[in-house]
Amino acid sequence: MPETRLGPIPSEPAHTVAAMTHPITPFHIDIPQAELTDLHARLANTRWPDELPGVGWSYGVPVSYLKQLAEYWRDEYDWRAQEATLNGYPQFVTEIDGQRLHFAHVRSPEPDALPLLLIHGWPSTFADFSQMIEPLTDPVAHGGDAADAFHLVIPSLPGFGFSGPTRNAGDAATRKYAETLAKLMELLGYDRYGAHGGDTGSLVSPELGRIAPDHVAGVHMNGPITIPGWGDERESFPEEEREALAKLTGWDEEGAGYAGIQGDRPQNLAYGLTDSPVGQLAWIVEHFKHLTDPARDLPEDAVDRDQLLTNVSVYWFTATAGSSARVYKESTDWGTPKESSGVPTGVAMFPSDVSLRTIVARENNLVHWTEFDRGGHFAAMEAPDLLTGDLREFFRTVR
């Protein structure tokens, strides 16, 4: 089990004053046994669909594969062990602008450590970063340099997991997420900090730079989401980006159905995923199959199977399939050109991610770009060592 530590809040007076309005309360994950029993019963009583022979994953998750994974989830996966591991890190809840916000806050033993936000995406949770927490907060104990230490703040985005559900329309927009996290860092007394994100987090982290450029020391992303605009002609991109551009412009024809459904009628999807654990499992596992390292055959070949099921379990136990999907409905500015904040920005690219460097450089002060030959979209789980190393390398330039 990881060592737990919170340490003193950097600015006790500011934290105390802020807490009068927004109290910060320690949080401990404790799923009632009745909910575990109910999950196991639902898995055992699943009404399975038919499937076509010989189509593999082309129609969705194969029944034979999902049956095996569901049986493992029911009979062998140990939620209590995963729960205990997560509870080894200090966690808290507060309320910002009427929205509940859950976060882990792990202080480094190094007093001069740089505060760093780690921001997940969909279908991820704060638990994605569990393998990176100790190396980032205590680099010396992991063969690194004390000068690379971070104090970590790892939120569950509003609507996701233990921050869910959202309470008002608009609370799941990426701009609103950034505003909420800026207020959280102010509440914690952190005046200068970094921000890292992947997937949805790659939209939130640069937005933080635009909202609070005087407080954000640097922005780092893995596989940033870049959406060509109407004015982006093919000829305006260098030759080496033409293939990526073609993939992005054709994205809505293959593999983007989930985004269309979640962006159009997330409430309709919520009924099935909130009622059926196998439905929730299939919806998330297909995404992992599609976006993990293409050199890996199955999702659990790229991501530890228990960590994958912990992700799914958090969505299931918190019933946040619907509220987490609202970001696709409410973030209406995706693809809209953005102004650069001027904040130094770094990018780590992993296999399976498709990003246009031209757009990243146009909308950010891009000073760091690394391409890796292993890992994938879920880099914090697939290649935590590589992502940790790239975070250290980039933030050395802005401390």
Q: Which residues are catalytic, by number?
A: 199, 328, 377
Work out whether strand 344-349 and strand 150-156 pair parallel, antiparallel, or are unpaired. unpaired
CB 193 within 8 A of CB 115: yes
**Beta strands, E only, the chain:** 25-27, 91-96, 99-106, 114-119, 150-156, 193-198, 216-222, 344-349, 365-371
Buried b (16+ CB within 10 A) or exposed e, 311-338: bbbbbbbbebbbbbbbbbbbbeeeeeee
**Number of CB atoms found within 10 A of residue 96's CB:** 18
User: What is the DSSP secondary structure assignment for residue 212, as one 8-state letter?
Assistant: -
CB 273 within 8 A of CB 321: yes
Tokens in use for 243? 């293939």
- Rounded CA-CA distance 56/52 in Å is 9
Residue with tokens 């010396």: 140
CB 213 within 8 A of CB 232: no
| Secondary structure (DSSP) of 47-109 | ------TT-TTTTSS-HHHHHHHHHHHHHT--HHHHHHHHHTS-EEEEEETTEEEEEEEE--S
Q: How far is CA 13 from CA 16, 108, 376, in A?
A: 5, 21, 42
Question: 370: helix, coil or strand?
Answer: strand
CB 206 within 8 A of CB 342: no
- Rounded CA-CA distance 110/113 in Å is 6
Task: Please give the distance of CA 31 from its chain centroid, rounded to a whole number.
Answer: 22
Tokens in use for 203? 């939209």
Q: Which amino acid is at 182?
A: A
Residue with tokens 């934290």: 15
- Rounded CA-CA distance 341/189 in Å is 22
